[in-house]
Amino acid sequence: MTLRTMRRHQGSRRAWWRASAGTVATLATVATALTAPGAAPSASATPRATLSLSTLEAGNGAYPTNTTKACKGKNPVQLEAWIWVPGLYRMVDVFNETHPGICVKLDDVGAGDTEYVKLTDAIKANSGVPDVAEVEFDELPSYEITHSVVNLAKYGANKYKKDFAPFAWQEVSQGSAVYAMPGDSGPMDLFCNSAELAKYHVTPGTTWAAFAKAAAAFHKADPKGYLTVFDPEDMQYLVSLMGQLGAFPFKWHGGSSVTVNFTGAKQMKFANYWQGLISAGGVKAAADFQNAFWSNLNNGTYACWVTSAWGPSYLAPNLTKASLGSWRTYPLPQWTAGANVAANWGGSTYPVFTASKHPAQAAEFSEWMNGTMKSWKIMYTAPSSLFPTYLPLLHDKTFLASGIPATGNTPLFDKAAAAAEHVKAVSWPPFMTYFLALTTMANVLNGKGTIPADFKTLQSTMTTYAKGQGFKVSS
């Protein structure tokens, strides 16, 4: 997704709630005003004006999503694209103007799961399937396994391979087959309140070992504060971060065999590391994307957020003068000193569906949208604010220098852009929707469970599910 729907399960639930709140905007706003005097404003339905990747705006109709201009040419091929990122009608307009034979109609049918349910139903009914749709990286395999997406290799997609961050291309392809064009992404980094770090003379460090020491030092210096907050029940976040250590728990290469491994040595190393930090008190386990979460980042209770390129745009609207301007990005710490391995959290792809009557034109649209600077110069600006997988933009000096008030206008994307080319690609299983819905890890937040113990539960839950779905499962 974009920044928000990355978090598919919870993300879309939240998106759904926000959309509902939009319809009762007045009520919700009044309720917020009455009941949450000290709360951060994120719960209100007020659309954010700048840098907002959130799908909320799309749901609220704060930005027009379907205002594409009349198409050119006589009897152009009609295409339908389902995209929930706000403001992309600007890109579609340019495409339609420069491609007289094709007329793309943009539809926002909902973000994340909301869209996937409609998409899956349409595919099952073989009726009303769009030509192109936004599908997150982790969800694409669910459409590959049902043979619902076109292999774009026959429409020349492979010639774009060199233009994309390697991990992104790997996650949309199986061998030489290309099942979607990669779109935006979220290379992970740290977003820290530098004033808070300076106050206690702590730096987050360049390795996770140093980070653990810094966490202990920070908590000792400020017993009410934490170097960072960790949300293990945010499943997409969890496995994305595991990817950096090579502990990603799944593997699927297009067939009927799948690997599920939550209990291997690397997985346990990851689990024990974070559980150790939580148990020692240096890191707080708490739910992300909630009012308390934003508020604690703003007031210095949490000094850093282990997040992705799009994270700051969710945090920014929740910041007050207390911390505005003092936020800086730091590279994601490494498991091995001197290594350079990055992780990616979220992002979307744009497949063409086999039900399309005009796959060649649909492929042309997806390739133009994701593989040209002309399109990206629009897509990275507000309100779409997508972080690219497209190398020419990742190397663009203007893009790299751009900042926001939260960072005192110092560069926001340079660390993430550098990380993008070093992300360790992961192999998503074709059943992420189920995984993301599991609430197994929630007991870590209230201290009634531990990450290693929950990983054992996940191992059995996911193995049972995968077997039930007919897969040969190895660990």
Partner 1 sequence: MTDVVVQNRNALPADRHSLLVRKGHGPEVRRFTRTERWGLVFILPFFVMFLFFLVIPIIYALYDSFFTTRLVGGTVFTGLSNYKTALESGAFWRGMLRTAIYAAIQVPVLIIIATFFATLFDLGVAKWGAVFRTIFFIPFAVPTVVAGVMWSFLFEDPYGPLDRILQDIGLGHFNFLGAGAPLLGSIIVIATWEWTGYTMVILFTALRSVPRDVVESAVIDGAHLGRVITRVKLPMVAPAITLVGILNIIGALQLFVEPEVLTVFTTNVSYNYTPTIYLYNQAYAAQEYNLAAAISFVLALIIIVISVAFVMVRRRKGGWI
The C-alpha atoms of residue 167 and residue 157 are separated, in whole angstroms, by 16
Return the residue of 191, 274, 390, 471 that touches partner 1, per CB under 8 A.
Answer: 471
Chain residues 288-347 in contact with partner 1, contact rule CB under 8 A: 290-292, 295
The C-alpha atoms of residue 461 and residue 71 are separated, in whole angstroms, by 50
Chain residues 137-166 in contact with partner 1, contact rule CB under 8 A: 145-146
Q: Find the shortest distance in angstroms from Cβ 239 to partner 1.
A: 16
Contact 135, 180 (CB under 8 A): yes
Q: Find the shortest distance in angstroms from Cβ 31 to partner 1.
A: 5
The C-alpha atoms of residue 429 and residue 111 are separated, in whole angstroms, by 20
What is the length of the chain? 475
3-state SS class at 300: coil
Burial of 19 (0-12, 13-18, 19+ CB in 10 A): buried
**Site stretch for partner 1 (CB under 8 A), options 38-46, 69-77, 169-177, 339-347:** 38-46
Q: Find the shortest distance in angstroms from Cβ 407 to partner 1.
A: 27
Q: Find the shortest distance in angstroms from Cβ 295 to partner 1.
A: 8
**Site stretch for partner 1 (CB under 8 A), options 202-210, 240-248, 389-397, 467-475:** 467-475
Return the residue of 3, 6, 21, 343 that touches partner 1, per CB under 8 A.
Answer: 21
Chain residues 203-222 in contact with partner 1, contact rule CB under 8 A: none
Contact 180, 163 (CB under 8 A): no
Specify the residue, 100 or 255, whose C-beta has the smaller distance to partner 1: 255
Residue 427 backbone phi and psi in degrees, to 5: -115, 95
Contact 219, 362 (CB under 8 A): no
Residue 439, sorted as left (phi over 0), alpha (psi -120 to 50) or beta, turns out to be alpha
The C-alpha atoms of residue 277 and residue 252 are separated, in whole angstroms, by 31
Chain centre distance of CA 47: 20
Q: Does the protein bind partner 1 through residue 14 (CB under 8 A)? A: yes
**Site stretch for partner 1 (CB under 8 A), options 37-45, 262-270, 312-320, 334-342:** 37-45
Chain residues 39-78 in contact with partner 1, contact rule CB under 8 A: 39, 43
**Site stretch for partner 1 (CB under 8 A), options 13-21, 153-161, 262-270, 301-309:** 13-21
Q: Find the shortest distance in angstroms from Cβ 17 to partner 1.
A: 4
Contact 178, 157 (CB under 8 A): yes
Residue 159 backbone phi and psi in degrees, to 5: -70, -10
Specify the residue, 9 or 48, whose C-beta has the smaller distance to partner 1: 9
Q: Find the shortest distance in angstroms from Cβ 379 to partner 1.
A: 29
Residue (of 82, 251, 239) closest to 171 by Cα position: 251
The C-alpha atoms of residue 395 and residue 389 are separated, in whole angstroms, by 11
Look up residue 423 and give its DSSP letter.
B
Q: Does the protein bind partner 1 through residue 125 (CB under 8 A)? A: no
Q: Does the protein bind partner 1 through residue 287 (CB under 8 A)? A: yes
Look up residue 14 and give its DSSP letter.
H
Residue 414 backbone phi and psi in degrees, to 5: -60, -40
The C-alpha atoms of residue 54 and residue 63 are separated, in whole angstroms, by 11
Specify the residue, 295 or 307, whose C-beta has the smaller distance to partner 1: 295
For the record, the structure tokens of 183 come out as 């779109």
Q: Does the protein bind partner 1 through residue 13 (CB under 8 A)? A: yes
Query: Which residues are bridge partners to 250 per DSSP?
Result: 260
Question: How big is the CA angle at 5 (ends 425 and 38), to the nearest 5 degrees?
Answer: 125
Specify the residue, 175 or 470, whose C-beta has the smaller distance to partner 1: 470
List the x/- string, 76-115, binding to partner 1 by CB under 8 A: -------------------------------------x--
**Site stretch for partner 1 (CB under 8 A), options 222-230, 375-383, 393-401, 443-451:** 443-451
Specify the residue, 200 or 465, whose C-beta has the smaller distance to partner 1: 465
The C-alpha atoms of residue 94 and residue 258 are separated, in whole angstroms, by 42
How many residues interact with partner 1 (rule CB under 8 A)? 49
Q: Which helix (H) or strand (E) holds 233?
A: none
Specify the residue, 241 or 369, whose C-beta has the smaller distance to partner 1: 241
**Site stretch for partner 1 (CB under 8 A), options 275-283, 287-295, 306-314, 327-335:** 287-295
3-state SS class at 434: helix
Q: Which helix (H) or strand (E) holds 136?
A: strand 135-136
Specify the residue, 338 or 468, whose C-beta has the smaller distance to partner 1: 468
Q: Does the protein bind partner 1 through residue 31 (CB under 8 A)? A: yes
Specify the residue, 59 or 333, whose C-beta has the smaller distance to partner 1: 59
Specify the residue, 29 or 203, whose C-beta has the smaller distance to partner 1: 29
Alpha helices of 222-257 — where are they, by DSSP H? Answer: 235-244
Chain residues 418-437 in contact with partner 1, contact rule CB under 8 A: 430-431, 433-434, 436-437
Q: Does the protein bind partner 1 through residue 446 (CB under 8 A)? A: yes
Look up residue 353 and give its DSSP letter.
B
Interface residues with partner 1 (CB under 8 A) are 9-10, 13-14, 17, 20-21, 24, 27-28, 31-32, 34-39, 43, 113, 117, 120, 145-146, 233, 256, 287, 290-292, 295, 430-431, 433-434, 436-439, 442-443, 445-446, 448, 465, 468-471
